[in-house]
C-alpha cells in the first residue's frame, strides 16, 4: 500500500468520527466560549470541519504565504459546518492522490511575506497538520461539548455517553 493510500484510509476513518462529533454541535450555542481567550464553539467547529481540505491544499503548493490572511466568517448553523466538513473531506480525497507518494517527498515551506516560518517534507505536513492538528482540535471540540452538557460520541472507544462495545439487550 502506498503512503498516500495508507493516509487516505486513516483519514477516511477519522473523517467519519469527526462528522459524528460535528453533528452534535448545537446551532444555538455557536457563539459560546469556555474562556474569553478561546475560540467560539462555531469557530472551532468550522476549523475542525475545514482544516483538512485547506491544509491538503497547501500540500499541492511548494510554498504557502500567510501574510494578511484572515479566517472565514463564523458559521450560522450546524448544517453549514457539516457541509464544510463534507466539502473538506471531498477535497482531501481528490488532492492526496494528485500529490502522490513522490510529491509527498517534496519540501513545503510556510511563509509570512519574505520570512520563512517553517519547512518540512509534504508527508510531514500531511501527518502533523492534516491529521494530528485536526484530531487535536476535534478533541478540544469534544471538551466544549462536554462543558455544554451535550452527549459526546464515542471517538476511540467509549465516552461517558456512548459505548459501542456495551452489550445490546
CA distance 92 to 78: 21
- Sign for the CA dihedral angle at 151, 140, 83, 158 comes to negative
Cα separation, 101 vs 3, whole angstroms: 6
Report how far residue 17's alpha carbon sits from residue 131's, in angstroms, rounded to the nearest whole number.
Answer: 13
- The mean pLDDT value for 19-29 works out to 98
Residue 167's pLDDT band (cuts 50, 70, 90): low
Is 67:112 a contact under the CB 8 Å cutoff?
yes
Answer yes or no: is 78 within a domain: yes
In this prediction, residue 169 carries a pLDDT of: 61
Buried b (16+ CB within 10 A) or exposed e, 140-164: ebbebbeeeebebbebeeebeeeee
Domain membership of residue 161 (yes or no) is: no
Phi, psi (rounded to 5 degrees) for 31: -90, -5
Rounded average pLDDT over 10-29: 97
Q: What ranges make up the beta strands (E) of the chain? A: 63-65, 107-112, 115-121
166 is a domain residue: no
- Mean pLDDT, residues 1-7 taken together: 91
33 in a structural domain: no
How wide is the angle at C-alpha 164 spanned by C-alphas 161 and 168, nearest 5°? Answer: 100
pLDDT at 66: 87
Q: How many domains does the chain have?
A: 1
Q: Is the pLDDT reported for residue 18 higher than 80?
A: yes
Range of the domain at 96: 3-23+38-65+74-147
Residue 110, domain member (yes or no): yes
Task: Tell whether 7 is covered by a domain.
Answer: yes
In a domain, 169, yes or no: no
Mean pLDDT of 71-89: 96
Mean pLDDT calculated for residue range 112-131: 94
CA distance 14 to 100: 20
| Residue 30 is assigned to a structural domain of this protein | no
Q: What is the pTM of this model?
A: 0.93
Q: CA-to-CA distance for 33 and 63, rounded, in angstroms?
A: 33
Q: In the predicted model, what is the mean pLDDT of residues 67-80?
A: 87
The residue behind cell 510556510 is: 110
Assign residue 95 the CATH number of its domain. 1.20.120.450
Amino acid at each position: 500500500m502506498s503512503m498516500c493510500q495508507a493516509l487516505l484510509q486513516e483519514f477516511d476513518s477519522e473523517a467519519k468520527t469527526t462528522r459524528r462529533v460535528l453533528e452534535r454541535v448545537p446551532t444555538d450555542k455557536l457563539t459560546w466560549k469556555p474562556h474569553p481567550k478561546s475560540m467560539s464553539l462555531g469557530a472551532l467547529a468550522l476549523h475542525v470541519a475545514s482544516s483538512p481540505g485547506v491544509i491538503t491544499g497547501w500540500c499541492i503548493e511548494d510554498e504557502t504565504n500567510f501574510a494578511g490572511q484572515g479566517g472565514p466568517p463564523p458559521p450560522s448553523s450546524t448544517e453549514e459546518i457539516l457541509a464544510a466538513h463534507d466539502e473538506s473531506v471531498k477535497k482531501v480525497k481528490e488532492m492526496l492522490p494528485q500529490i502522490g507518494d513522490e510529491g509527498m517527498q517534496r519540501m513545503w515551506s510556510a511563509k509570512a511575506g519574505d520570512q520563512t516560518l517553517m519547512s518540512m517534507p509534504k508527508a510531514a505536513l500531511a501527518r502533523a497538520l492534516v491529521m494530528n492538528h485536526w484530531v487535536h482540535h476535534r478533541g478540544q471540540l469534544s471538551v466544549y461539548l462536554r462543558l455544554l452538557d451535550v452527549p459526546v460520541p464515542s471517538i476511540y472507544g467509549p465516552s461517558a455517553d456512548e459505548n459501542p462495545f456495551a452489550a445490546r439487550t
